[in-house]
Chains A and B, each alone.
Chain A
Amino acid sequence: MEGWAGKILDIDLTSGQIDSYPLDMEMARLYLGGRGLGARLLWDLVGPEVEPLSPENVLIFATGPVTGSGFQTSNRFSVSTKSPLTGTILDANSGGWWGMQFKRAGYDVMIVRGKAEKPTMIEIINGEVSIQDAAHIWGKTVFETTDMLGQSNNKRNVMCIGPAGENLSLIAAIMNDGTRALARGGPGAVMGSKNLKAVVVEGKERNTAQDKDLYKFMLYETGKLIKQSPLTSKALPEFGTAAVLNVVNEIGALPTRNFQQSQFEGAELISGEYMTKNILVKKQACWACPIACTRITKTSKAEGEGPEYESLWAMGAQCGIDDIEAIAEANYLCNDMGLDTISVGSTIGCAMELAERGLIDTDLRFGRADLLYETVRSIAYREDLGAEMADGSYRMAEKYGVPELSMSSKKLEMPAYDARGMQGQGLLFATSNRGACHMRGNMLGPEVLALPRQIDRFGTQGKAGIVSIHQNSAAVVDSLVVCKFTNMAVAEEYFARWLKSLTGIPFVADDLMWVGERVYNLERLYNLREGFTMADDTLPPRLLNEPVVDGPSKGYTVNLAPMLEEYYQFRNWDESGVPHPAKLKELQLDTLLAEA
């Protein structure tokens, strides 16, 4: 294979039918793979009449033309579906080894449809596909399942759900290689609704380059830049993603106690620096990754992977907890149960506020590190208060008459940035197609880290253009599919040359940015077709109306309206946030227009 394997695997769990057919190469050129191809296929397969947990929803697992090529971080893959948490289009992507191995098994994409009658697993061995009984692993945790199915990095790779997915928690993740996660938006619940427990892959094919000299040159040049960048050669390897926790706290943008404050007095105790000094065992890398941001940590009770920045925040500052060992152990459990740590922590923090307001009868309070582990377990198994938290903060808060206390947008819990201290980040969260998400184009770079240069985090004018370009760029990276940390050392022109070396197609950076804009607008059309409107491009009332009470961001709220107006104009959408026909024609999406 040179870039694409050229094949789609299509499995119907209701009938047991297994098909494979050629990948439409024109579609592949327009959408690349991963998130882009997933969105395009989902447009055709899942319409507004489909309930997310019904057999008619699909799971589309997609690699990209770069996956498995050996280019730096070319290990990633994505899943696309209709989210049971938000109702929007959803894609989530993950690293590790599974994506690479699936490509080696000979496919670009796997579509899973229908619903099996009983617990089921799929095995793909060198292109041969079988659907098998999974009674022996149903009910097992992620780690148990991964071990029982013979996980061996580089040879045999397991993707599975844990108890959370089996119990249809709307914040359930799909896990791969034990500890990597397709986390946000509840894809684990969709997999559980199909009675699909696991997919195991082995393969021998190789993603080789058509132009081997260009491939070797780009491999060398990219490696050189990654080594030269202090971000990818020092900060991330040394401190992991948690390197930024102290700076986000310092500027007064670390959401604390369900976004009631924006600085956490215990930040140092859950920081990257503290983790490195006290619980870090070693760093680890995904396949073909020279950056190695993964943390292997050890507490007095357990050892495991993580926690990442978002997890440290979600089960730390968001819950008023500064006990890094308790957070790490809860993080290991989230992995084993198959849960999205951001939604878990944010929902627990929301429950804590409800409890402190006297709305819920529970001992759960801000700072109760001793209850964290058991609370996570109760979410996975839908026990006691965990049953109410299992479907995310919005549904829980709504039940108690206070949906405004869910710190979410489009019902997806916001990640670890208080947008009152980062106005562009607020626009990003409000307009993200899968709900509040920092991975759709993190404004952390320009607003906080001076990457590529510092802009005023409190300013609103001009943010629309930067957010839009970041969103388009993130869509490119998610469609290739590579790790966004590579993008900190090399730009889109490098990715274009990677593609050219693999496929022979003379991609340039502009081609890729067109792909990104196309994918972003297609996702927008999908959500419009689902009934979302500009009213959904918003943030919780706390961020819009309650000024930060102290710290460097004191007095600020998110001034969303003017940014949103500018954003629609920049994107060439009308005042209601609907893409103009001319923009859709420009992006070759005009044939979909009549259906939106």
Chain B
Amino acid sequence: MPVVKLFGNLRDYAETSKVDVSGGTVREVLDGLCTQSPALCEVILEGGELNSHLQVMLNGRGVDFIQGLDSTVTANDQIAIFPPIAGG
């Protein structure tokens, strides 16, 4: 089953750093995540769309460079969600 990894203060909303969520696309996985964690859902979705401040990666690649939220997800894939961060 795909794994969703959460970073930064998103972990506080979900009360975990990793969640197993099924789904065939990134969008389906995010919907499943919302079902599992309504508190997190309020932060990651805005009007049914991904919060523009967040970064979503599929196996380390920004989904914008694949097929966005319609990117295909397989059983061993990892989706990472980052809040706005800075540093360096």
Contact = CB atoms under 8 A, between A and B. Distances in A.
Interface of A: 230-232, 234-236, 238-247, 250-252, 268, 272-273, 293, 309-310, 416, 438, 442, 444, 449-451, 454, 456, 485, 488, 551-553
Most chain B CB atoms below 10 A, which of A273, A416, A444, A553: A273
Given A247-B55, A250-B60, A456 B65 contact: yes
Nearest to A488: B86
Contacts of B62: 450, 454
B7 A231 contact: no
18 contacts: A230-B53, A235-B87, A236-B87, A243-B8, A244-B86, A244-B88, A246-B7, A246-B82, A247-B55, A250-B5, A268-B17, A450-B55, A450-B62, A454-B55, A454-B62, A454-B64, A485-B86, A551-B60
Contact of B7 (A241, A273, A310, A450): A273
Contacts of B88: 241, 244, 309-310, 416, 438, 442, 444
A231 B84 contact: yes
Interface in B36-55: 53, 55
Contact of A230 (B61, B80, B83): B83
B85 to A, nearest CB: 4
B64 to A, nearest CB: 6
A273 B11 contact: yes
Contact of B9 (A234, A442, A444): A234
Contacts of B5: 250
A250 B57 contact: yes
Contacts of A553: 60
Given A232-B86, A235-B84, A239-B87, A251 B9 contact: no
B74 interface: no
A449 B85 contact: yes
User: Interface of chain A, helix or strand or loop or mixed?
Assistant: helix
A552 B60 contact: yes
Contacts of B11: 273
User: Interface of chain B, helix or strand or loop or mixed?
Assistant: loop
B61 A239 contact: no
Contacts of B55: 247, 449-450, 454
B35 interface: no
B59 A552 contact: yes
A273 B5 CA distance: 13
Interface string B4-28: 0101110100000100000000000
Contacts of A234: 9, 83-84
A268 B84 CA distance: 18
A242 B87 contact: yes
A243 B60 contact: no
B57 A238 contact: no
B86 A235 contact: yes
Given A238-B9, A273-B7, A243 B57 contact: no
A242 B5 CA distance: 17
A456 B83 CA distance: 19
A286 B9 CA distance: 24
Interface of B: 5, 7-9, 11, 17, 53, 55, 57, 59-62, 64-65, 80, 82-88
A281 B67 CA distance: 42
Contact of A231 (B9, B65, B85): B85
A247 B82 contact: yes
A584 to B, nearest CB: 32
A235 B83 CA distance: 8
A244 B57 contact: no
A458 to B, nearest CB: 9
B3 to A, nearest CB: 12
4 tightest A-B contacts by CB?
A: A552-B60, A241-B87, A231-B86, A230-B84
A309 B86 CA distance: 11
A309 B85 CA distance: 13
Nearest to B78: A250
B55 to A, nearest CB: 6
Nearest to B7: A246
A512 to B, nearest CB: 22
A234 B84 CA distance: 9
A293 B88 CA distance: 11
A168 B83 CA distance: 43
Contact of B86 (A243, A268, A438, A454): A243
A246 B17 CA distance: 12
B8 A235 contact: yes
B61 A251 contact: yes
Given A234-B9, A235-B8, A244 B85 contact: yes
Contact of A272 (B57, B80, B87): B87
B7 to A, nearest CB: 5
A109 B67 CA distance: 54
Given A250-B57, A252-B60, A454-B64, 18 more contacts: A231-B85, A232-B86, A235-B84, A235-B87, A236-B86, A238-B9, A243-B86, A243-B87, A244-B88, A247-B55, A250-B5, A250-B7, A272-B8, A272-B87, A309-B87, A309-B88, A444-B88, A454-B55
Contact of A247 (B17, B53, B64, B85): B85
A443 B64 CA distance: 18
B32 to A, nearest CB: 21
A340 B72 CA distance: 45
A416 B64 CA distance: 25
Contacts of A230: 53, 83-84
Contacts of A272: 8, 87
A91 B36 CA distance: 51
Contact of A239 (B8, B53, B65, B80): B8
A251 B53 CA distance: 18
B85 A243 contact: yes
B85 A239 contact: yes
Most chain A CB atoms below 10 A, which of B53, B61, B84, B86: B86
A488 to B, nearest CB: 5
Contacts of A243: 8, 85-87
